[in-house]
Amino acid sequence: MLVFKFGGASVKDAEGIINLSRVVNSYAGNELLIVVSAMGKTTNALEKLTKAYVSQADDVHEIYDEIKAYHFDIVAQLFEASHPVFDEIQNTFVEIDWMIEDEPHDDFDFIYDQLVSIGELVSTRIVSAYLNHTGIKSQWLDVRGYIHTDNTYREGVVDWVKTTESIQKDIPALLQKGVVVAQGFLGGTSENFTTTLGREGSDYTASIFAACLKAESVTTWKDVPGVLNADPKLFDGTVKFDELSYNEAIEMTYYGATVIHPKTIKPLQNANIPLLVKPFIDPVAPGTVIKEDGKTVFEKPVIIVKQNQVLLSISANDYSFITEDHLSDIFKLFAKNQVKINVMQTSALSFTTCIDFNEERFSKLLSSLKQNFKVKYNDSLTLYTVRHYREDALKEITAGKQILLEQLSRNTAQMVVR
């Protein structure tokens, strides 16, 4: 039994969906569950729609109309006008119609999950319909009834016992009837509300299914030849890794490597299931294999770039030393506001940390911290993390930049720069 994950870039247009069907068809004879992300940049567009709706901006319907037009244009290229998928897509979008006709009353993160999740629901409807259209038996699955989470919207925490029970109860029988098409990124609460698993969480969805079903492997299909040592859009001369160990992949994703979602590896490592990262434009290429005993010689350092960073410096109001009690209070506020720390450093009088900028969460965190601490911050910064670094590589990366924070360990260097 195999699990495939197709990201947004692989289904961004009609040709991408046609290519997906070719890939799936080439694995005929295997039990196959495929996890599909929202198409192209749909998640970004739905995030824009969510912010416009919550702020009651004038362009809410304009943004929404563009999203619908994008999807219906793809559907029109794949199906004849009488195909029932047109009505299925329209009925799926009705969920957005209902929400944006009323004024927003709920928490932003709750609204975000209910609106942004429509991207995956629509993309999987189209993919499943097209597979059936081309003669590949396919069953559409609403993942919200199988991946059960708590009520932490935008970062749903999976209930593994309930999720495993649901998946093992129904999915094996469905796989015997044909390809199962499920949404990535989504989960469901006990109250039947939609949650999301964190940005780019479709990889994590694939690993959840694989672990519960004891899959032979997971393949995530990307627009790159495999896992590279750096982003080819930012750096020249990147190299592909043929193999990586689970541990190295976990380190890379923890520091922000976007080719794989950070939570993806652990379920696979626990079940000893290999993860293959392969290019969807060249399905027979070997890609990268991530497994327990993956062997890698790091001829070049691994460079991970996180932009739109904020550097916070937190100190006591009375200029006293930063003690363990202070740090305990600070960490509680970060956890309460769901803000993750990328780098941290402590001096006698201050605690300094680098975080991703999220306007809503940062505003709440700042307000909470200022009740008991003095806070200074710099924004619009970039964090470079370099694994297996060499001095010459660090100098090249930071040339012409102002270093605001630098931290070196045995294998990893991190630098916050302006």
Average pLDDT over residues 205-213: 98
CA torsion 43-47-50-56 (nearest 10°) is: -140
What are the extents of the domains in the chain? 2-291, 302-417
Is 116's pLDDT higher than 90? yes
CA 161 from centre of chain: 23
Q: How far is CA 258 from CA 76, 195, 255, in A?
A: 32, 21, 9
What's the pLDDT at 156? 96
Tell me the per-residue pLDDT of 307-316, one tens digit each, with 9 for 90 and over.
999 999 999 9
Q: How far is CA 39 from CA 11, 27, 162, in A?
A: 5, 23, 29
Q: How confident is the model at residue 245 (pLDDT cuts 50, 70, 90)?
A: very high
Q: How confident is the model at residue 106 (pLDDT cuts 50, 70, 90)?
A: confident
Give the whole-angstrom CA distance, residue 73 versus residue 291. 40
What's the pLDDT at 136? 98
CATH of domain 2-291: 3.40.1160.10
* pTM greater than the 0.75 cutoff: yes
Tell me the per-residue pLDDT of 215-239, one tens digit each, with 9 for 90 and over.
999 999 998 999 999 999 999 999 9
What's the pLDDT at 141? 98
What's the pLDDT at 261? 87
CA 73 from centre of chain: 26
Question: Which CATH class for the 302-417 domain?
Answer: alpha beta
Where does residue 218 rank: exposed (0-12), middle (13-18), buried (19+ CB within 10 A)? buried
Tell me the per-residue pLDDT of 316-331, one tens digit each, with 9 for 90 and over.
998 899 999 999 999 9
Question: In CATH terms, are 2-291 and 302-417 the same topology?
Answer: no
Where does residue 255 rank: exposed (0-12), middle (13-18), buried (19+ CB within 10 A)? buried
Give the CA diameter of the chain: 73
Q: Beta-carbon neighbour count of residue 225 at 10 Å?
A: 18
